[in-house]
Chain A
C-alpha cells in the first residue's frame, strides 16, 4: 500500500519535472549541429490516403510563392533576400516540363519578393523592400517591370506581403517594424537597425500611448556601451510620455492596405496585425490572412502567442500590440515570458475590441502562405491549406519540440486544424534534421487553376543558432500534391 502511495506522488512529480519548460533546452527544427545537402524523397512525406506528392523543381534559392498564367503554366518567385541578411536577386521563373526553369524577370537588390498573383495577362508581386522600402510590382509577360507603389514602410523585421486582387484593387499586407512596437537590440540582430537607425512602427490612425519605456543596451552607441530608453512607435533610444499622441498615417505598419489595379495612393483596409504574411480569397470572395504572432525577443517580449488565421473585415483594428488572437496580452500569465514581468499595455485607448480569430496555429509555427481548395474532386473543398515555415527557435523563442514544417488544413467554420502533408518519422521537424528527403520549410501553398493540384513552395534549409540565421541557397523545392488517379 505504502509503495502505491509513493508511486502516486512520484509519477506526477516525474511528469512535472520532465515537462518543465524552464529546465529544458530549446529543440527548434532549425537547431541542427551541421548542414547536410538537401535530399528529395517523396516517400518520407505522409499524406492522407489517396494523395500523392512529387517534386516539380529543386535547387531554387529561397522560393516563396507559385502562380499560374492564363495558359495554366506554373511560375515561381525566388525571394532575393532571407533572414540572416543574405541578399541576392529576386527572380520570376517559369517552371518548364522536366523540372527546368526559364527566367522571366529579375528584380533589384530590394527583396524579399514574398508573394505573387496573376491577373489579366500580368503578374503582381509584393516586393518586401528590405533595403529601399516595399513595393507592389506589375511584371508583364515580356519581363518588363512597373512599380505600382513604392516606399512602403518595410525595412524592418517584416515586409510587404501578398498580394491578391479583388474588385479592381490590389490588396497587400504590410508587416510591422518590430516584434511588439518597441525598437530594441533584437532589431540590430536582424540587421536593419544599423541601416535605418530612425525606423520604427507607424500607426494607421492616431493613438494615445501609456508612455511606457524600455531600457536596453544602447546598441547604436560606439562600442555598444551605455543604456538606451525607448518607447513604443518611436525610434531607438527615444522615450515617450503618458498620454503622448502618435499621429496615424497611411501607409502604416501592421496593416492590410489596397491600391487601385493600375497604381495610386494606398487606402487602409484593416490594421493591428503583426505580420500579415499570407492573403487569400475564398470562393465567396472573402479576404482571409495569416498573421505571424509575437516572438519571445526584444525589449517587450511576448510568450505563448500563436499565429492566426483571420477573416479581414474593413475598418477594424485587430489588436497588435496589446492583443494576441483577439485576447488581451496585458498582465496575463498566458503571455508572460517565464521569469519576467507581465506584459504592460502600450495603448491608453483601444481603437475597438478586436474580433475573434478564425483559427489559432502553433506558437512559432510561422503559418504563412495559403490557399483555399475550391474543387471538391481534390477533397476538403472550402478549407484553407496553410504552409507552416516552421519555428525559428531559439531566435524567436524557445520550443520543446519543432513546430510547423508542414502543410495543415483549416476548417474556417469550426477553426479545426489538421495535418495534411507532414514528414514521417518519430518526431516532427524539417527533413534535414533527420537526414531525410521530405519537407523542409513550406512557405506557401497555391492550387492550380483547375483546383486539382496543390503546389507547395518549400523555402529550403535554414539553420539557426542563438547568434545566427543560416539560410542555404539552392535548397528550395516546389512540390505538387494531387489525388491519386486524377
Chain B
C-alpha cells in the first residue's frame, strides 16, 4: 500500500515535470511581453542575443534544444556554456566573462518565470 502511494506520488511528479517541460513559455504566448526588471537582466538579455539567440531563439528550440522548458538547473547550463557539449561550442572567459555569464543566467531565469 505504502509502495503504491509512493509510486503514485512519483508518477504525478514526473507528469508535472514532463508537462511543464512541454509548455511553451515564450512571449507573447503567455499574454504579455518581457521587460527586463533590472540592469543585470537587461545586460544578460543583450548578451544572450549576441551569443545564444541564434541557436535558441527566444529560449525556444531551433538549431539547439529549448532552454525555457528545460528543467536543468542554472549551474548545469553554465557548465555547458563553458565546456560545450555535443555540437554546442564552448565559450571561454574571453568570449563570455564570468560576470556576463551570471547575467545571462539571470536573464534566462527571468524569461522562464515572467
Q: Check B55 for interface membership: any CB of A closer than 8 A.
A: yes
Q: How large is the interface on B (under 10, 10 to 19, 20 to 34, 35 or more residues)?
A: 35 or more
Q: Is A12 an interface residue (CB 8 A)?
A: yes
Closest to A325 in B: B54
Question: What string of 1s and 0s marks CB contacts (under 8 Å) between B20-53 and chain A?
Answer: 0011101111011110000000000110011001
Instruction: Answer whether A19 and B32 are a contact pair too, CB < 8 Å, given A362-B54, A422-B26.
Output: no
Known A426-B23, A426-B24; judge A415-B50 contact (CB<8 A). yes
B108 nearest CB across to chain A (Å): 14
Of A360, A361, A420, which one neighbours B28 at CB under 8 angstroms?
A420
Chain A positions within 8 Å of B60 at CB level: 401, 428
Contact with B along A408-452 (1 / 0, CB 8 A): 000000111111101011111000000000000000000000000
How many whole Å from A363's CB to the nearest CB in chain B?
Answer: 4
Q: How far is the CB of B23 from chain A (nearest CB, A)?
A: 7
When A21-B64, A401-B66 are in contact, do A418 and B57 touch as well, CB less than 8 Å? Answer: no
- B102 CB to nearest A CB, Å: 19
Contact in complex: B22, A426 (CB < 8 Å): yes
Q: Name the contact of A304 in the complex, choosing from B50, B63, B85 (C-beta under 8 A).
A: B63
Contacting pair B76 A363 (CB below 8 A)? no
Flag if A365 contacts B86 (CB, 8 Å). Answer: no
- Among candidates A15, A304, A362, residue contacting B70 with C-beta atoms closer than 8 Å: A15
CB atoms of B24 and A418 under 8 A apart? no
Residue of B nearest to A403 (CB): B62
Does A95 count as interface, using CB distance less than 8 angstroms? no
Which B residues touch A15, using CB under 8 A? 70, 72, 76
**From DSSP, what is the main secondary structure of chain A's interface residues?**
loop
**B84 interfacial contact with A, CB 8 Å:** yes
Check if B23 sits within 8 Å of A20, measured CB to CB. Answer: no
Residue among B32, B61, B62 with the most chain A CB within 10 A? B62
Number of A-B contacts (CB under 8 A): 126
Q: How many residues of A contact B (CB 8 A)?
A: 47
Contact of B27 among A16, A21, A399, A418 (CB under 8 A): A418
Q: B65 at the A/B interface (Cβ < 8 Å)?
A: yes
Contact A415 B46 (CB under 8 A): yes
- Using A12-B76, A419-B28, A422-B29 as known contacts, say yes or no to A360 and B53 having CB atoms under 8 A apart: yes
**A14-38 CB contact bits vs B (8 Å, 1 = yes)?**
0110111110000000000000000
Inside 8 A of A427's CB, which chain B residues have their CB?
24
Whether A148 sits at the interface, judged by CB under 8 Å, is no
Query: Does A251 have its Cβ within 8 Å of any Cβ on chain B?
Result: no
Task: Pick the contact of B55: A18, A304, A332, A419 (CB < 8 A).
Answer: A304
Is B74 located at the chain interface by the 8 A CB criterion? Answer: no
Q: How far is the CB of A179 from chain B (nearest CB, A)?
A: 16
Question: In chain A between 187 and 213, which residues have their CB closer than 8 angstroms to a CB of chain B?
Answer: none
Roughly how many angstroms separate A422 CA and B89 CA in the complex, as a whole number? 29
Task: Enumerate chain B residues within 8 angstroms of A303, measured Cβ to Cβ.
Answer: 87
Chain A residues numbered 13-70 whose CB sits less than 8 Å from any CB in chain B:
15-16, 18-22, 46-49
Does B105 have its Cβ within 8 Å of any Cβ on chain A? Answer: no
Contact A416 B24, CB 8 Å, known A334-B89, A361-B54, A364-B63:
no
Please name all residues of chain B whose beta carbon is closer than 8 Å to the beta carbon of A365 when the two chains form the complex.
Answer: 57, 62
- Does A456 sit at the interface, judged by CB under 8 A? no
User: Which residue in chain B gives the minimum CB-CB distance to A47?
Assistant: B28
Q: Are A416 and B63 in contact (CB under 8 A)?
A: no
Say yes or no: is A359 at the interface (Cβ < 8 Å to chain B): yes
Chain A 347-365 per-residue mask, 1 if CB under 8 angstroms from chain B, else 0: 0000000000001111111
Q: Is A306 an interface residue (CB 8 A)?
A: yes
Identify which of B54, B61, B86 gathers the most chain A CB atoms within 10 Å of its CB.
B54
A360 lies within 8 A of B54 (CB): yes
Residue ID in chain A nearest B85 by CB atoms: A16
Q: Are A400 and B61 in contact (CB under 8 A)?
A: yes
Q: Which residues of B contact A325 (CB under 8 A)?
A: 54
Could you tell me which residues of chain A, from 71 to 126, have a CB within 8 Å of some CB in chain B?
none
Pairwise interchain contact B58-A418, C-beta atoms closer than 8 A: yes
**Separation of A400 and B65 alpha carbons in the complex (Å):** 6
B55 in contact with A415 (CB, 8 Å): no
| Residues B22 and A417 in contact, CB atoms below 8 Å apart | no
Contact A49 B22 (CB under 8 A): no
Interchain CB contact under 8 A, B34 and A428: no
Q: In whole angstroms, how far apart are the Cα atoms of A210 and B99 in the complex?
A: 40
Query: How distant is A80 from chain B, measured CB to nearest CB, in Å?
Result: 31
Q: In chain A, residues 272-325, which have Cβ atoms closer than 8 Å to a Cβ of chain B?
A: 303-306, 325
Q: Closest CB of chain A to B16's CB: distance in Å?
A: 16
**Contact in complex: A359, B49 (CB < 8 Å):** yes
Interface residues of B, Cβ cutoff 8 Å to A: 22-24, 26-29, 31-34, 45-46, 49-50, 53-55, 57-58, 60-66, 70, 72, 76, 84-90
Q: A residues touching B (Cβ–Cβ < 8 Å)?
A: 11-12, 15-16, 18-22, 46-49, 303-306, 325, 332-334, 338, 359-365, 397, 399-401, 403, 414-420, 422, 424-428
A-B complex: 7 closest residue pairs judged by Cβ atoms = A401-B61, A306-B54, A362-B57, A21-B87, A19-B65, A334-B89, A403-B62
Instruction: Write 7 A-B pairs (CB below 8 A) sorted by A numbering.
Output: A11-B72, A19-B85, A20-B86, A304-B89, A416-B46, A417-B53, A428-B61
